[in-house]
Structure 1
Amino acid sequence: MLFSTDDFWCLDMMKKNASRMRIVSVYDLPAAESIRALQRLRRASLIQIQSGLESEEVKVESDDILRQVYELVGGRTSYLARVARAPDMLDEAKYMVEMEKEWLLSRIGLIPDHDDDVMDEQKWASCSWLLLRHLAQKVPPVTEDITMTTLDEDLEMAKVSYAEARVISTRTDFLQPLDQAHIISIDVHHHVRPDSVLLLRAVQSVISEPGFDEDLDKTRARIDEIEGLHRQSELTVKEPFRVVVGKKEGKTVLDVIGLGGSFVSTNEDSENTEDPEDPKEELVRVV
């Protein structure tokens, strides 16, 4: 039986009892294979568009353009096939990064001045960006200076261990939902990385915008503020009052006096009203 999935929780559940299970991990194509595949797909697309031309007569973009496309979308064959069919491959790759960015913001976009009704959603978003920012900063941005040395150099995806990801994101229960949403990927070695190169470039675009770090700090500060308000209890008294217990003509006297706007502190009240000849007089404040 073959079972195909890209969610980590399936492996986590099945490996406990599947003693004869064999795992085959499928990754993106390396740089050299990606560029060769892109050349073949591009040539086939141009032959289909420009009917009547032979394969040798079709001019494919230079290796520099192919390398830049690879650095934008990576070696995932579905992305390479889509770029190869576009009129301008480089513009299509940039457009795909922009669309991935907008999708990502629709899922985990930050709202610094959010209402308390969406606090839980912003917890997930802010903790997710802590992890994504850490991963994106470990990979250099796209470069246009292509040399023969860097032409076939593989693009290494940033990764951290599952334990490190828990510490960076400050939450242990957000990793698997991020994996199921195809924002991160968790492999059989418990390595956490961005789900694709395309998503990595989208994350790099977001964190490079001015004010991103400030928005992230404001969002987390707003969450702390709302949680602090939820932990507090407020007690309100309509009108403070004073209870005076004393003795007059051998009898105990209990007098309750409403203070209203003329309310003064206990220390000032006791200093002004205490009778030095009656040491048994007591002031009791009830709030």
Structure 2
Amino acid sequence: MPRSFQGAKRGWLLLPLGRRHPTRFRPTSFPSQLAPNHAPQYTKPPANHDTRNGTRESSRFARSVLEGSTVALISLLGLGLGGYAYSLFYKKMVLNKIENAFKAGYSSNELVSLGRIAYGTHPDMVERILEKENWVPREEQPMIDSIINGGMRGRYHFIIGERGTGKRSLILEAMRRVGGDGIAMLEAHNDLEVFRVRLGKAIDFEFHEDYIGSLFSIRGPRDSTPLLDIERALNKLEKVSLRLRKSRGRPLLLIINNIHFFKDDAAGQGLLEILQQRAEIWAGNDLVTVVFTSDEHWTLERLIPHSTNMNVISIRDIHKETVTTALKQYRAKFHYEDVPNSILDEVFAKVGGRLIFLNQVARSSDMLATCNQINKKEKTWLLNKCWILGDSMDDDVEEQQKYCAAAMVLARALVLREASATTNHEYKLPEIPLHESRQIITRADYIQGFDHINVIHIDFNGMVRADSVPMQNAFREICTQEGFEEHLRATLNRLDELESLSRTREVAFRDPPQYEGGKVPVQTYCAKL
């Protein structure tokens, strides 16, 4: 038998040259049932086996740490880039929203102020409404138009006038003529938080309240004061005005109505200071033209000391010739009535040239009855606010009656000034300088209160007069009635008596106690007291 076959029977496969294959023909590669005598034996690993395993495990751990760190860094980098990109996008979106607020058209504030004029769809309908609304020509309209359309630059404007003289209507008519292009308008308020919201609504600024980053933090009350938020909004408005200065060719316009609604305290004065500082800077750089309107003189007193570029515009009652002509035309066109000149003169003598009263009279069926009703209403308001109680007043109302007596003394002075004035063809309310008015009532702090309740008005020249012709009629009717002088004198005497009693201290002596040995001497008793 060949040699290779014999080796195969014994479990060995011999090569032709008699050499064994190092791996393929190892005995341990056969199953144990085929070669029971050649079971695999345990061989001890080499000495450096543990070292190589530890090195391999360390490298594997380092690789996993490196991979995790890389993924974390890439994630953080992506998150940071995403947040930075969103922040840039949000800031740009904020400026775009403010820019869009000044485009042609009207915001909700302006639509409310314009009223039904803005909702006229047909041109004939709009003209019909305007004809009824603006039936009295105003000599101040060209100046207001020049401010609104950007013709008058380098100044900011303070418009002052009595309640109902038509300050808002002048501004709204000028806004309508330019289509609301480049204009933002808002109303003042005594609460700074409310004014902050109104300012944001007017210029479409959310104060970061719509910023998505706030979702990642739980915020309680507000983190900043209203003044800081208003300052931030004005900063954004300044950036937008810088962007639009070249493209528009004229400044933006910010109108703040009725700034006398601000409180005359530290917060209100701080807000006025911020607004005036911005108005001064923007007017000098031709960025934004700020327009303030007010009914009261104290706001002008706050702004004048720091004003450099401020232009003061006084809106007065309409002249008699203009009123009578316009009223005659209005009644002939819309009521088909030819009003006699005597009736027109009587109407003007009762309500004057105040636009708010003229609108009521022109639309009424009986003009003289409406005039009498307006006069009665003004007189009732004066008596409810400032009537005096005479010599039977209680001491608890001393301070309130000082205020009322001062109002009546000033009203009497205006009536006497009217009686001593020379009459002319143009009816004019009597005036007294502010310093002289304070001297007449012997108080300097009451004048502002009278102006606030619309009993008197102080114009930009510091002249004090009745708030309106119906109020002057009420002064005259009250001060000329029988027994008024005695009643006023009794009130003033009673106030002097109460003030004297509050300043007087009485010292009372009583009899000393009785003793068995007789009375104690008065000197000894007083010394014991």
Fold-level similarity (TM above 0.5):
yes
TM-score (norm 1): 0.75
Q: 1:107 to 1:243 in 2, by over 3 A?
A: same
- Indicate conservation of the 8 Å contact 2:417/2:430, yes or no: yes
* Partner of residue 394, structure 2: 115
Aligned residue runs from structure 1 range 78-227, under 5 A: 78-112=356-390, 113-139=392-418, 153-227=425-499
Aligned residue runs from structure 1 range 234-249, under 5 A: 234-237=506-509, 239-241=510-512
What SS class does the counterpart of residue 418 from structure 2 fall into?
coil
Provide the alpha-carbon RMSD of the alignment.
Answer: 2.5
More helix by share: 2
AA partner of residue 110 (structure 1):
I
Q: 1:44 to 1:108 in 2, by over 3 A?
A: farther
* Partner of residue 264, structure 1: none
* Partner of residue 271, structure 1: none
* Partner of residue 49, structure 1: none
AA partner of residue 519 (structure 2):
I
> Matched residue pairs, number?
234
- Indicate conservation of the 8 Å contact 1:72/1:94, yes or no: yes
Q: 1:234 to 1:81 in 2, by over 3 A?
A: same
CA offset digits 1:166-197 (Å, max 9, x no partner): 11111111111111111111111111111111
* Partner of residue 74, structure 1: 352
1:21 aligns with 2:293: no
Decide which moves more: 182-191 or 85-94: 85-94
Deviation of 1:236 (Å): 4.0
- Indicate conservation of the 8 Å contact 2:319/2:353, yes or no: yes
CA distance in 2, matches of 1:119, 1:99: 27
1:228 to 488, 497, 500: 500
* Partner of residue 41, structure 2: none
CA offset digits 1:143-178 (Å, max 9, x no partner): xxxxxx97xx21111001111111111111111111
Deviation of 1:209 (Å): 1.3
- Indicate conservation of the 8 Å contact 2:412/2:479, yes or no: yes
AA partner of residue 104 (structure 1):
L
Q: 1:255 to 1:283 in 2, by over 3 A?
A: farther
AA partner of residue 452 (structure 2):
Q
Q: 1:220 to 1:20 in 2, by over 3 A?
A: same
- Indicate conservation of the 8 Å contact 1:110/1:122, yes or no: yes
Identity fraction in percent: 29
- Indicate conservation of the 8 Å contact 2:331/2:337, yes or no: no
Q: 1:241 to 1:14 in 2, by over 3 A?
A: same
CA distance in 1, matches of 2:524, 2:370: 75
CA distance in 2, matches of 1:80, 1:20: 35
* Partner of residue 41, structure 1: 330
Deviation of 1:127 (Å): 1.1
1:257 aligns with 2:519: yes
AA partner of residue 125 (structure 1):
C
Regions of 4+ moved over 6 Å: none
What SS class does the counterpart of residue 396 from structure 2 fall into?
helix
TM-score (norm 2): 0.42
Deviation of 1:285 (Å): 7.5
What SS class does the counterpart of residue 4 from structure 1 fall into?
strand
CA offset digits 1:1-30 (Å, max 9, x no partner): 110001101110011112100011000011
What SS class does the counterpart of residue 473 from structure 2 fall into?
helix
Deviation of 1:227 (Å): 1.1
- Indicate conservation of the 8 Å contact 2:512/2:522, yes or no: no
- Indicate conservation of the 8 Å contact 1:242/1:256, yes or no: no
| Bigger relative contact order (CA 8 A; separation at least 6) | 1
Decide which moves more: 32-41 or 67-76: 32-41
Q: 1:206 to 1:255 in 2, by over 3 A?
A: same
Deviation of 1:256 (Å): 5.0
Name structure 2 gaps, 5 residues minimum: 1-289
AA partner of residue 132 (structure 1):
A
* Partner of residue 117, structure 2: none
CA distance in 2, matches of 1:177, 1:256: 65
Q: 1:41 to 1:286 in 2, by over 3 A?
A: farther
- Indicate conservation of the 8 Å contact 1:242/1:285, yes or no: no
AA partner of residue 482 (structure 2):
P
- Indicate conservation of the 8 Å contact 1:41/1:81, yes or no: no
Deviation of 1:59 (Å): 2.4
Deviation of 1:39 (Å): 1.6
AA partner of residue 294 (structure 2):
T
Name structure 1 gaps, 5 residues minimum: 47-57, 141-148, 245-253, 259-281
